A and B are shown apart, each in its own frame.
Chain A
Amino acid sequence: MSKRELNIFKLLSQKPWESSQATIDNAHDGKTLGLSKANLGVRTIMVVSTVIFSLFVVSYSDRMLVHDWKSLSEPWLLWINTVILIFTSIVFHKTKILSDQNKFEKAKNGLLLVGFLTFAFITGQLLVWQHYVNLGQYASTNPANAFFYLFTALHGLHVLGGLFFWGRATTKLFQNNYSVTKIKQAIGLCSVYWHFLLIVWMVLFGLMIAT
């Protein structure tokens, strides 16, 4: 890796027309950051998602100040789902370490467990929805409910999006149809995304139980 310009102020003060700078620039290989494009892609997606969820949190904080707000009582099932998600994240982290050590046979089991736990989480979330619907707590009943359904649905969609890429990586691994660096990268990036999903859920869940 050649030296990357990490300081944006230094970068923006370059004088590209000067011959001393030109000598340095001619040796530049064209990459700004020492990251793979997939890595940068996942990061960008996480940034955009963070903006979306932050704006929802801001809207939530603004809306909850109005007198008609009635907090939901969180069922114990929601805590179980949270524990499942934490456990998924831990398993994925272990799987990532295994794949980094080229232990792909063990990583296969890890990936399957991750998939099972994630589907369990989604089923759990749907059960919570059912629980509320049975209680007559619809989205239109109260703004707190509306935000609850909105948060869980959006988080759930993010989980499903992650599962799509989990599925691709797992399929390739099981069909023995992969290049080692690529599958490592795919597993690594998926695990980062799963940690991101956990953090988002913790923030949303924390916000909902705290208010």
Chain B
Amino acid sequence: MSEEYKDNKIEAKSADSSSGGYAPPAEHIPAKEAPEQELYHAKSFWTKWVFSQDAKVIGVQYALTATAIGLIGLVLSWGMRLQLGFPETFSFLGPATYYQSVTMHGMIMVIYLLTALFLGGFGNYLIPLMVGARDMVFPYVNMVSYWMFLAAVLVLIASFFVPGGPTGAGWTLYPPQAILPGTPGSEYGIVLMLVSLAMFIIGFTMGGLNYVITVLQARTRGMTLMRMPLTVWGIFTATVLALLAFPALFVAAIMMTLDSMLGTSFFMPDIFTMGEKLKTGGGSPILFQHLFWFFGHPEVYIVALPAFGIVSDLISVHARKNIFGYRMMVWAIVIIGALSFIVWAHHMYVSGMNPYFGFFFATTTLIIAVPTAIKVYNWVLTLWRGNIHLTIPMLFSLGFIVTFVNGGITGLFLGNVIIDIPLSDTYFVVAHFHMVMGIAPLMVVFGAIYHWYPLITGRHLNQTLGKIHFWVTFLGAYAIYFPMHYLGFIGVPRRYFEMYDSPYMTSGVGLNQFITVAALIVGFTQILFLYNIFSSVFKGEKSERNPWKANSLEWHTPDYPPTHGNFGKELPVVYRWPYDFSVPGSDKEYIPQNVPPSQVPTAKVEIT
């Protein structure tokens, strides 16, 4: 325990006993049973900003690294789109480059951008602030977690520069083709990819340990689990999912690395090539698919649940209304999390399985639609008769709801075995998952950045650029993915380098060109957004404290933006949930979580 905080604790105690005389019993503050957390106080520039143990700095580091690698993912998608829209035009795009772009784009976006941004970025920044902790419970481990992530990203980037280039096996990395000659990067690229994934998982486990235990054990007084903002619920549940699901990818990655480097045959079936049988054989590629999707499906919810949580808070704050059905929202998050572990084989309908399994997995998949739909209804009902402020976070939240419903409904089609089989491996699938786990979570990421940017930097992002960013991204996403659904319906298969003169492509050529142009425009708008982020640090309009008039603790720190230790001398005490907006009878429009009942005597209970 540092000297600084030790003294404060004694002060706090004496303040308690002296104020006990006139405070109403409801406000009696119980003495803290556990001693306050030891904090590491950085002395130098290096330990403060580079090898930092402060969760806020680590969160920003995570977010910046994820954004940097995400930009590479974005550029790769342009390469793919140029090839698909205007084949045989660009000499730098061969089949190998195309497949490598597809693979790296997918893996980067799903794991190194979205997972790292939601859990590493928002998780680190928001969890301690929102639950009223000074920092994560294991700050050192948290720091190591970030550096493991950075190392994983560097290994991934290194795979671009090895002989043969990065792997081109598709983001699912299915063996045996991923490690057989003929697939780009089957020698070195795939190994670096697998090593990078294993490092990411080890790093994430260290971070995940922090997020889970901080939420469970390090909350401030009065902050019960059911008083936490839904953001924390979403990130918490997603982290639990990730801790249980990433091991499957880890196991698969280790075994495939051995198959590739030591010549074992965990996944390698009997293969004849050039008239000769390979030395490896007898392994099961389907086993890899099961392991991969046992991770891969929860991964969808690892990305979606934090987005659900964050968007609930954004909608509630910017519509000045309590979230409709808070408990139901929490239940839905937990139920979706639990169900996500028993639906994985719906990604494998065409891999061949017992028909009863197909029936089982189709059923569980459709059941997930129930809690998900409840969430959508609750968001809409929160907006109903709300005092909706059309701020940029709200615009993005609305964009999220529409996009998520869109992607969710196409998911209902794909979840049914009988409809999935003709649609499988077409652009319909590509459009579906980009809508539901690409665009929808990104809408939330953008909304959340516009929402919390003032908290992090003390300045607002440029509003005009923000509006342009929103409208181009929102309309542009639909310009890209609506035509793509149609391409899927007419039977255009995904992962084809070029369609040549296929008869069913006649009506698709123009559409493909249109999609490419839209994708380029949307992509460049993201660069405008990044410009906004970096220039607003210096030039942005100064934000007053708590500009959105939110209730959750992160806006009510003594220093604004919050500084080391988050809450200054004394940790806040929580008296209410974070959704007390427009409470009947209260003279205040909103009541922050740390306002005791005695300060708002006229406030009535809101019936939810």
A and B assemble together: yes
With CB as the reference atom, state the residue of chain B lying closest to A60. B266
**Which residue of A19, A31, A48, A146 is within 8 Å of B243 (Cβ)?**
A48
B9 beta carbon closer than 8 Å to chain A? no
Known: A32-B225, A140-B279. A59 touches B291 (CB 8 A): yes
**Which residue of A2, A56, A150 is within 8 Å of B258 (Cβ)?**
A150
When distances are taken between beta carbons in the complex, the residues of chain B under 8 Å from A138 are 262
Chain A interface size, as a band, is 35 or more
User: What is the 8 Å Cβ interface bit string for chain B, positions 217-240, against chain A (1 contact, 0 not)?
Assistant: 111111111110000000000000
Question: Contact between B266 and A59 (Cβ–Cβ < 8 Å)?
Answer: yes
Question: Contact between B287 and A22 (Cβ–Cβ < 8 Å)?
Answer: no
Question: Contact between A139 and B264 (Cβ–Cβ < 8 Å)?
Answer: yes
Number of A-B contacts (CB under 8 A): 166
User: What is the 8 Å Cβ interface bit string for chain A, positions 41-59, against chain B (1 contact, 0 not)?
Assistant: 1001101100110011001
Question: Contact between B247 and A44 (Cβ–Cβ < 8 Å)?
Answer: no
Q: Which of B119-169 contact A (CB under 8 A)?
A: 131-132, 137-138
User: What is the 8 Å Cβ interface bit string for chain B, positions 197-230, against chain A (1 contact, 0 not)?
Assistant: 0000000010001001100111111111111000
With CB as the reference atom, state the residue of chain B lying closest to A51. B247
A209 beta carbon closer than 8 Å to chain B? no
User: Within the assembled complex, what's the spacing in Å between the Cα atoms of A83 and B379?
Assistant: 59
Question: Contact between A29 and B291 (Cβ–Cβ < 8 Å)?
Answer: no
**Which residue of A12, A16, A68 is within 8 Å of B281 (Cβ)?**
A68
When distances are taken between beta carbons in the complex, the residues of chain A under 8 Å from B258 are 139, 146, 150
User: Within the assembled complex, what's the spacing in Å between the Cα atoms of A47 and B27?
Assistant: 39
With CB as the reference atom, state the residue of chain A lying closest to B249. A55
Question: Contact between A27 and B30 (Cβ–Cβ < 8 Å)?
Answer: yes
User: Within the assembled complex, what's the spacing in Å between the Cα atoms of A44 and B213?
Assistant: 9
With CB as the reference atom, state the residue of chain B lying closest to A49. B247
Question: Contact between B282 and A26 (Cβ–Cβ < 8 Å)?
Answer: no
When distances are taken between beta carbons in the complex, the residues of chain A under 8 Å from B27 are 26
B542 beta carbon closer than 8 Å to chain A? no
Known: A32-B225, A55-B291. A12 touches B327 (CB 8 A): yes
What number of B residues sit within 8 Å (CB to CB) of A? 66
Question: Contact between A40 and B279 (Cβ–Cβ < 8 Å)?
Answer: no
User: Within the assembled complex, what's the spacing in Å between the Cα atoms of A68 and B287?
Assistant: 16
A5 beta carbon closer than 8 Å to chain B? yes
User: Within the assembled complex, what's the spacing in Å between the Cα atoms of A107 and B258?
Assistant: 42
Question: Contact between B226 and A11 (Cβ–Cβ < 8 Å)?
Answer: yes
Question: Contact between B220 and A30 (Cβ–Cβ < 8 Å)?
Answer: yes
User: Within the assembled complex, what's the spacing in Å between the Cα atoms of A33 and B217?
Assistant: 7
Counting chain A CB atoms within 10 Å of each CB, which of B33, B220, B280 scores highest?
A: B33
When distances are taken between beta carbons in the complex, the residues of chain B under 8 Å from A44 are 209, 212-213, 243
Question: Contact between A41 and B251 (Cβ–Cβ < 8 Å)?
Answer: no
User: What is the 8 Å Cβ interface bit string for chain B, positions 22-46, against chain A (1 contact, 0 not)?
Assistant: 0000111010111000000000000
Known: A12-B331, A14-B226, A22-B575. A30 touches B132 (CB 8 A): yes
User: What is the 8 Å Cβ interface bit string for chain A, positions 168-186, against chain B (1 contact, 0 not)?
Assistant: 0000000000000000000
In the assembled complex, how far is the CB of residue A58 from the closest CB belonging to chain B, in whole angstroms? 9
B284 beta carbon closer than 8 Å to chain A? yes
Counting chain B CB atoms within 10 Å of each CB, which of A14, A19, A44, A139 scores highest?
A: A44
In the assembled complex, how far is the CB of residue B594 from the closest CB belonging to chain A, in whole angstroms? 11
User: Within the assembled complex, what's the spacing in Å between the Cα atoms of A59 and B32?
Assistant: 48
When distances are taken between beta carbons in the complex, the residues of chain A under 8 Å from B344 are none
In the assembled complex, how far is the CB of residue A160 from the closest CB belonging to chain B, in whole angstroms? 14
When distances are taken between beta carbons in the complex, the residues of chain A under 8 Å from B330 are 12
When distances are taken between beta carbons in the complex, the residues of chain A under 8 Å from B287 are 59, 62-63
B283 beta carbon closer than 8 Å to chain A? yes
When distances are taken between beta carbons in the complex, the residues of chain B under 8 Å from A41 are 137-138, 209, 213
When distances are taken between beta carbons in the complex, the residues of chain A under 8 Å from B263 are 139-140
A105 beta carbon closer than 8 Å to chain B? no
B300 beta carbon closer than 8 Å to chain A? no
In the assembled complex, how far is the CB of residue A50 from the closest CB belonging to chain B, in whole angstroms? 9
A28 beta carbon closer than 8 Å to chain B? yes
When distances are taken between beta carbons in the complex, the residues of chain B under 8 Å from A6 are none
User: Within the assembled complex, what's the spacing in Å between the Cα atoms of A13 and B200?
Assistant: 36
User: What is the 8 Å Cβ interface bit string for chain B, positions 235-263, against chain A (1 contact, 0 not)?
Assistant: 00000000110011011001100100011
When distances are taken between beta carbons in the complex, the residues of chain B under 8 Å from A30 are 131-132, 217-223
A66 beta carbon closer than 8 Å to chain B? yes
With CB as the reference atom, state the residue of chain A lying closest to B210. A41
User: Within the assembled complex, what's the spacing in Å between the Cα atoms of A146 and B257?
Assistant: 12
B326 beta carbon closer than 8 Å to chain A? yes
Known: A52-B250, A63-B284. A27 touches B28 (CB 8 A): yes
Question: Contact between A26 and B209 (Cβ–Cβ < 8 Å)?
Answer: no
Question: Contact between A16 and B283 (Cβ–Cβ < 8 Å)?
Answer: no
In the assembled complex, how far is the CB of residue A201 from the closest CB belonging to chain B, in whole angstroms? 18
With CB as the reference atom, state the residue of chain B lying closest to A59. B287
Question: Contact between A25 and B224 (Cβ–Cβ < 8 Å)?
Answer: yes
User: Within the assembled complex, what's the spacing in Å between the Cα atoms of A40 and B606?
Assistant: 37
In the assembled complex, how far is the CB of residue B303 from the closest CB belonging to chain A, in whole angstroms? 20
B605 beta carbon closer than 8 Å to chain A? yes
Question: Contact between B266 and A16 (Cβ–Cβ < 8 Å)?
Answer: no
User: What is the 8 Å Cβ interface bit string for chain B, positions 562-604, against chain A (1 contact, 0 not)?
Assistant: 0000000000011111010000000000000000010000000
| Known A16-B226, A66-B282; further 13 A-B contacts with Cβ < 8 A | A5-B224, A12-B226, A26-B26, A26-B28, A28-B224, A30-B220, A41-B138, A41-B213, A48-B205, A59-B287, A140-B262, A146-B258, A146-B262
Pick the 3 closest A-B CB pairs, nearest first.
A30-B219, A68-B282, A140-B263
- Contacts A/B (CB < 8 Å), 20 sampled: A13-B327, A14-B327, A26-B575, A29-B32, A30-B221, A31-B217, A31-B218, A31-B219, A33-B216, A37-B213, A40-B217, A41-B213, A44-B212, A48-B243, A51-B247, A55-B247, A63-B283, A67-B282, A68-B281, A139-B258
Hey, which bits of chain A sit against chain B, CB under 8 A?
1-2, 5, 11-19, 22-23, 25-33, 35, 37, 40-41, 44-45, 47-48, 51-52, 55-56, 59, 62-63, 66-69, 138-140, 143, 146, 150, 154
